[in-house]
Structure 1
């Protein structure tokens, strides 16, 4: 008999979400907006500690609107970590701007603040500052925001926090998603909480919040007829999905605890020569969205692809670490600074199953497959 499939990070829903969803359905709040959408935004804003939250159709939509709020236009440049998911760079391209890719630091796998500062200094000397900087909280661990904000403030360049993977993480006690001009969350099906699909823009700036809400509803003017003075987007999250999100937020603490326990188990059971787990930076607490490790083939006796193949043979989903943007064909002509660290993370990195509903047996299967041979 074949063991059931273990997924990388599947949705974890309960009767809490089901009841909220059915209550919205039974009340006929199936339209794009409604009381659950308002409540969901309030819950997340309070959780993150920001005045404004705008629930949207995706994290990518939130990135797009955050860049619009930062004033990014065609021909501009935006500093972007190379080690990230493509959505971070795609949102820059939507506006006709050009990403400049910066390498990671091996101490956290996040963008290197020293490289950000160097790039801003060099571009300032040429009179060619970027319009914005995006930092990404990789695999649920915050970037190092003190030096990043210092560098951005020095040159008057807005910072956008891509916290798509990091809800529930903290940096020096401050929640992920609360840094810079705007923070961005994702509620995709594989994230720490999900609405099936969706995202959110978080900000302390009234102007940014008003602009995001306006643009996300086709930029319709508040008049009886349909009046549009600018081009807008159909980006609002639906009330039904927000109802699911409300239940997920209630369970966030327990889901983080489950993922933390999985990380602890893996780190203890796979404390082997040639396997090195993603470092935990001393400046904060991750949400343990994914547990990732690096494989040294000379010490471990197998390379990354062999480990992934072992897991696949046992019906276990695992993935390589993100392929850096500077190695992606879609962005081959974009400038970059460094790249060796993020390239190494990709070539040796493995993301292990980390869902909050993993059982002890599931974890044992994963460990056994990695150790096989």
Structure 2
């Protein structure tokens, strides 16, 4: 009999999702407006603990698109983007007819390298093309180097669009991710720390910005008794049903973060006596990661020739999902030819990095299967957690 699939990250029910959904049907709020949307936005504003305003949308990608519009990005502009990320970070740049400028990673957080960032800005300015915005990502829940990136942002007066799609529950120096840029976004896709089945939010510093985002997200309908439109809008608003799932998930968010961090500790312990395997961790006490995904780096020169791909294939043979780190955007066929600044840090991370099953709903039996499979690969007696 085929073994049960262990997924890298799957939806974890556990709150009162059905209660909020049933309220939708009882009151017939089956629309892109209603009390769950208002409540979900309020729940998130309270959770983020800053003076922010949250607008619920149907995806994190939509939030990035609207965030760029709010920052004034137009066709012909240039936008800096972290190269090691999911394509959704970069796609909205192209939606607007702008040009993505990709930046290499640094090895401790896997995120945007401040040195390469400043070099890119200086060079683009010399070419007469000052970038309009910086999309910085908290990869796998690990905060980017906020102080360094913000210092560069302020120095050159280029706003940060903070991609916190993977980082709800993470923080830097006590401030929640999603509140650290001029505009932030969160994602609630099915594999995220909490889910609305599909969805996201935009996080703004002013009510005016939020109102503008919601206006654009609801087809940019002007104030009039009839349907009148003076600019192009989008169908980006979250549904009241999905927001109900989100309200139930918010009730278990803190516990999900605890469980993800415990999975990370499991892997730290698991690889403690393995040469050539580095489990990525927080660089200092300033960083608090939700460890949405635990990532490792495999060095075959230090472990007898075991590569990332050998380990991934062995896990897959046991019906255990894992995946390489994101393939850098500047290496993707769709972005071939766009400017790139840096060395080969992101490329090396992609070639040797692996994300492991990290879900908050993994069982002791799941962990035992993962542990035994890895022991066989490395032929080691590894201390179990």
Q: For the residues of structure 2 that align with 1:129 and 1:330, how far apart are their CA atoms?
A: 23
Q: For the residues of structure 2 that align with 1:15 and 1:329, how far apart are their CA atoms?
A: 41
Q: For the residues of structure 2 that align with 1:320 and 1:122, how far apart are their CA atoms?
A: 32
What residue in structure 2 maps to residue 44 of structure 1?
Answer: 44
Q: For the residues of structure 1 that align with 2:97 and 2:355, how far apart are their CA atoms?
A: 32
What residue in structure 2 maps to residue 334 of structure 1?
Answer: 338
Q: Secondary structure at the match of 2:75?
A: coil
What residue in structure 1 maps to residue 82 of structure 2?
Answer: 81
Q: CA deviation at 1:183?
A: 0.3
Q: For the residues of structure 1 that align with 2:3 and 2:211, how far apart are their CA atoms?
A: 50
Q: For the residues of structure 1 that align with 2:207 and 2:150, how far apart are their CA atoms?
A: 20
Q: For the residues of structure 2 that align with 1:281 and 1:142, how far apart are their CA atoms?
A: 10
Q: Is the 8 A contact 2:15 2:252 kept in 1?
A: no
In the superposition, the TM-score normalised over structure 2's length comes to 0.94
Q: CA deviation at 1:15?
A: 5.2
Q: For the residues of structure 1 that align with 2:104 and 2:15, how far apart are their CA atoms?
A: 43
**Structure 2 unmatched ranges of 5 or more:** 378-385
Q: For the residues of structure 2 that align with 1:152 and 1:39, how far apart are their CA atoms?
A: 33
What residue in structure 2 maps to residue 60 of structure 1?
Answer: 61
Q: Deviations over 1:276-296 (max 9, x none)?
A: 111312121001100110111
Q: CA deviation at 1:352?
A: 0.5
1:67-216 equivalences under 5 Å are 67-216=68-217
Q: Secondary structure at the match of 1:200?
A: strand
Q: Secondary structure at the match of 2:16?
A: helix
Q: For the residues of structure 2 that align with 1:238 and 1:8, how far apart are their CA atoms?
A: 27
Q: Deviations over 1:322-371 (max 9, x none)?
A: 00001100000100001411001111111100110001111121122223
TM-align CA RMSD: 1.2
Q: For the residues of structure 2 that align with 1:339 and 1:371, how far apart are their CA atoms?
A: 34
Q: Is the 8 A contact 1:57 1:235 kept in 2?
A: yes
Q: For the residues of structure 1 that align with 2:290 and 2:15, how far apart are their CA atoms?
A: 23
Q: For the residues of structure 2 that align with 1:50 and 1:255, how far apart are their CA atoms?
A: 25
Q: CA deviation at 1:155?
A: 1.6
Q: Deviations over 1:204-223 (max 9, x none)?
A: 12332121011000000121
How has the CA–CA distance of structure 1 residues 82 and 15 changed in structure 2, closer, same or farther, with 3 Å as cutoff? closer
